[in-house]
C-alpha cells in the first residue's frame, strides 16, 4: 500500500482520491476515519508508505500526534503529510512528538494546499491563488525527503499548474493567511451570525455565499484556532462598527478598512480566491 488517507471519506479526502492522487501515486490508496478502531488503523498505518491526514481542523494536532505514536515502531520509511490550513500549532506538536519517539524512519511534511474541490479547475484570474504552501519538514535520519518533494512538486506544476512555495515558515504562514483568508472569513462570520446579512451576501456574491456555507465548520475552526485571528477580528469589528451594519456596501466598507489596517494596501503574499474577490469588490467602491 502506498498511500493511506486519514479522513478519506471527507470532502477533501475524496477530492484527493479522485482528482489529485491518480496523477501522483500509481499504487494503492486506502482510507480510514478518526472513528476507525485503533487496531485497524495500526494495521493500515504499518503497510502505508505515505500517510495523509485530511481531517477537520478541530483536533487535528492531537490526531497527528497520536498517529506518530502509532507509527513509533515502524522499521521502513514512512512519511506523514500534514495539510491543515492552520500550520503552526500542528508543526510544534508533531515535531516535538517525532523528537520524543525518535524513529529514524519517520518523516513529516507540513503543507497547506490552497485549493479544493469547489475551485480546483477554475480558470478565472483568482485561480493564481491555488498553490501549495510548504511550511516545514521534519526528516528522520533514514527517510530523506528531498527527492520525493522534488518529484511531487514538479508533478503538481506540470499536471495542475499549481506551484509550491517554501518561502514561509509555520508562524509566518498563519499570520499572513489570517490577514487574507481569515479576513475574508470575518465576512463569513457575519453571514453565519445574521441571516439578513447572509441573504444580502447571497444576492450579491452567490458563489462566495455557497462556498462559505459549504465550509462553515472549517471557517469557524479557523477563526478559533489561528492564533492571529483575535487581531484580525478586532480590526474587522472596529471597522464594522463604523458602518450602519445593514447593507452590502457596509460589509465591503468594513472589509476594505480592515484590509488597509492589516495589509497597508499591499497585496497578500499568500492570497485566496475569496479574499481577492472581496478585495476587488471593496476597492471598486473607493479607497480608504
Domain of 207, in residue numbers: 171-284
User: Which of 152, 167, 182 represents a domain boundary (last residue)?
Assistant: 167
Residues 157 and 210 reside in one and the same domain: no
Number of domains in the chain: 2
Q: What does each C-alpha distance from 176 to 87, 106, 172, 257 come to in angstroms?
A: 12, 29, 6, 17
Residues 134 and 253 reside in one and the same domain: no
Which pLDDT tens digit goes with each residue over 27-82?
A: 778 999 988 888 888 888 988 999 999 999 999 999 999 999 999 999 999 999 99
Residues 151 and 16 reside in one and the same domain: yes
Residues 41 and 118 reside in one and the same domain: yes
Residues 186 and 57 reside in one and the same domain: no
Residues 156 and 177 reside in one and the same domain: no
User: Which of 167, 199, 222 represents a domain boundary (last residue)?
Assistant: 167
Which pLDDT tens digit goes with each residue over 231-286?
A: 999 999 999 999 999 999 999 999 999 999 999 999 999 999 999 999 999 998 74
Residues 269 and 256 reside in one and the same domain: yes
Residues 63 and 198 reside in one and the same domain: no
- pTM for the whole structure: 0.93
Amino acid at each position: 500500500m502506498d498511500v493511506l488517507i486519514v479522513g478519506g471519506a471527507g470532502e477533501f479526502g475524496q477530492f484527493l482520491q479522485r482528482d489529485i492522487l491518480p496523477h501522483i501515486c500509481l499504487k494503492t490508496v486506502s482510507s480510514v476515519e478518526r472513528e476507525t478502531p485503533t487496531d485497524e488503523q495500526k494495521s493500515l498505518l504499518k503497510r502505508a508508505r505515505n500517510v495523509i491526514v485530511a481531517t477537520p481542523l478541530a483536533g487535528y494536532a492531537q490526531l497527528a500526534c497520536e498517529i506518530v505514536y502509532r507509527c513509533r515502531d515502524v522499521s521502513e520509511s514512512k512519511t506523514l503529510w500534514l495539510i491543515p490550513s492552520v500550520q503552526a500549532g500542528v508543526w510544534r506538536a508533531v515535531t516535538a512528538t517525532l523528537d520524543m519517539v525518535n524513529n529514524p524512519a519517520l518523516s513529516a511534511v507540513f503543507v497547506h494546499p490552497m485549493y479544493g474541490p469547489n475551485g480546483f479547475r477554475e480558470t478565472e484570474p483568482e485561480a493564481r491563488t491555488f498553490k501549495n504552501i510548504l511550511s516545514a519538514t521534519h526528516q528522520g535520519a533514514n527517510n530523506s525527503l528531498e527527492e520525493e518533494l522534488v518529484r511531487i512538486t514538479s508533478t503538481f506544476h506540470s499536471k495542475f499548474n499549481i506551484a509550491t512555495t517554501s518561502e514561509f515558515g509555520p508562524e509566518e504562514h498563519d499570520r499572513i493567511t489570517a490577514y487574507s483568508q481569515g479576513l475574508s472569513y470575518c465576512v463569513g462570520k457575519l453571514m453565519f451570525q445574521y441571516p439578513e446579512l447572509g441573504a444580502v451576501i447571497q444576492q450579491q456574491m452567490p458563489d462566495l455565499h455557497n462556498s462559505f456555507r459549504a465550509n462553515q465548520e472549517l471557517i469557524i475552526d479557523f477563526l478559533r484556532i489561528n492564533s492571529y485571528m483575535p487581531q484580525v477580528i478586532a480590526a474587522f469589528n472596529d471597522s464594522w462598527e463604523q458602518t450602519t451594519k445593514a447593507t452590502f456596501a457596509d460589509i465591503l466598507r468594513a472589509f476594505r478598512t480592515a484590509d488597509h489596517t492589516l495589509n497597508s494596501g499591499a497585496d497578500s503574499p499568500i492570497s485566496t480566491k475569496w479574499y481577492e474577490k472581496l478585495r476587488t469588490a471593496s476597492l471598486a467602491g473607493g479607497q480608504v
